[in-house]
C-alpha cells in the first residue's frame, strides 16, 4: 500500500505546531506535509521533524494574504517579480526541511493573460529549482471552484496540457482526490483518465472534507487502484477531522492492514 503522510496544518491541531510531528509519527504516519511553514523558524521545524523521524515531503509556495483572499500569485499578471521573490523563499524553506516536493499555488485569476503568466512563471520556476535544488520536484494541483472560487487551475485536462507544454522533468501533477471528486463527480475515474502519473496524492472525504473513510469515494478501492497502477509516491491526509485527530484514524489503520 502507499506511504501515508499527515498534513500537519490540518491534523493534530490539538498539539502545539512543533509537537505535531511526534504525534503524527506515534499515530502511524510515515511522513508529513506543511501548507505554509513560513511563520516558523525553519531550523525549529527541521529539528522537530528529525527528532520524530517524520520526513517533510511537501510544502506550498507562500499563499500571500490568505484572509484577504489571496491564494498565491503564479498566474496573476503583473506579479511576476513577487512570484520570483516568494518562490526563492519557498526554495530556501524546502531545502532547510528536506522536502522533496513544492506545490506552486496559482492564485485567483482567469483568461489568456493569466495562462500565459502561469506558464512563464512555471517554466522559470522549474529552471530555478533545477539549478538550486536538483532533487526538488514542483507540483501543480487542480482545486475545485466550490471551495476556492476563482482559482486559476480547476481542470485536470488543462493541468496536463500546461505540464506537457512546459515539459520540465521536475514539474508534475498533484492529485487531490477530494478536489477531483468535487470537480468531476468521480475521483477514481478522474485518476484513470490521467495521461501522466502524479507526483503526489492527497485525500479527504466527500462531502465535508473530513476523514477519508466514508462518503462518495471508496477509499479502500482507491488505495488499491493506486497500488495496482504503480503509484509510488506519498498519500497525504489533508482533511478536517470531525472530532479529534486520533479518534478519526480508523481509515489509516485499515489502509495499513491492506
Active-site residue, 238 included: yes
Cell 524553506, located at residue: 93
Which of 54, 58, 15, 66 has the alpha carbon at shortest distance from 35? 58
> Among residues 33, 86, 141, 211, which one is catalytic?
141
Phi first, then psi, for residue 147 (nearest 5°) are -80, -30
> Among residues 33, 86, 211, 238, which one is catalytic?
238
Which of 235, 163, 151 has the alpha carbon at shortest distance from 195? 163
* CB proximity list for 204: less than 8 A, separation 6 or greater: 176, 177, 178, 210, 211, 212, 237, 238, 239, 240
Strands (E), 94-190: 101-103, 137-140, 171-176
Beta bridge partners of 6: 32, 237
Active-site residue, 141 included: yes
Which of 159, 153, 229 has the alpha carbon at shortest distance from 191? 229
Distance CA 100, CA 37 (A): 15
* CB proximity list for 199: less than 8 A, separation 6 or greater: 101, 137, 139, 172, 173, 174, 233
Q: Which cell numbers in the block locate residue 77?
A: 499578471
At 180, which helix (H) or strand (E)?
Answer: helix 177-184
* Residues known to be catalytic: 141, 238
Amino acid at each position: 500500500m502507499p506511504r501515508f503522510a499527515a498534513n500537519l496544518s490540518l491534523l493534530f491541531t490539538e498539539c502545539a505546531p512543533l509537537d505535531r510531528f511526534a504525534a503524527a509519527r506515534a499515530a502511524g504516519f510515515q511522513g508529513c506535509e506543511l501548507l505554509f511553514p513560513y511563520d516558523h523558524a525553519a531550523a525549529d521545524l527541521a529539528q522537530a521533524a528529525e527528532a520524530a523521524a517524520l520526513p517533510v515531503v511537501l510544502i506550498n509556495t507562500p499563499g500571500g494574504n490568505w484572509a484577504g483572499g489571496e491564494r498565491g500569485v503564479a498566474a496573476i499578471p503583473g506579479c511576476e517579480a513577487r512570484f520570483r521573490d516568494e518562490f526563492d523563499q519557498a526554495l530556501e524553506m524546502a531545502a532547510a526541511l528536506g522536502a522533496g516536493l513544492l506545490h506552486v499555488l496559482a492564485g485567483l485569476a482567469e483568461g489568456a493573460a493569466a495562462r500565459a503568466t502561469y506558464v512563464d512563471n512555471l517554466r522559470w520556476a522549474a529552471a530555478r529549482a533545477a539549478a538550486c535544488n536538483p532533487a526538488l520536484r514542483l507540483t501543480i494541483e487542480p482545486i475545485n471552484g466550490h471551495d476556492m472560487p476563482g482559482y486559476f487551475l480547476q481542470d485536470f485536462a488543462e493541468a496536463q496540457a500546461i505540464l506537457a507544454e512546459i515539459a520540465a522533468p521536475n514539474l508534475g501533477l498533484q492529485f487531490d482526490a477530494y478536489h477531483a471528486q468535487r470537480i468531476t463527480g468521480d475521483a477514481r475515474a478522474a485518476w484513470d483518465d490521467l495521461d501522466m502519473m502524479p507526483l503526489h496524492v492527497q485525500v479527504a472525504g466527500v462531502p465535508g472534507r473530513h476523514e477519508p473513510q466514508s462518503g462518495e469515494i471508496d477509499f479502500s478501492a482507491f488505495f488499491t487502484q493506486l497500488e495496482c497502477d504503480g503509484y509510488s509516491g506519498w498519500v497525504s491526509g489533508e482533511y478536517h477531522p470531525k472530532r479529534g485527530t486520533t479518534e478519526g484514524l480508523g481509515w489509516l489503520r485499515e489502509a495499513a492492514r491492506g
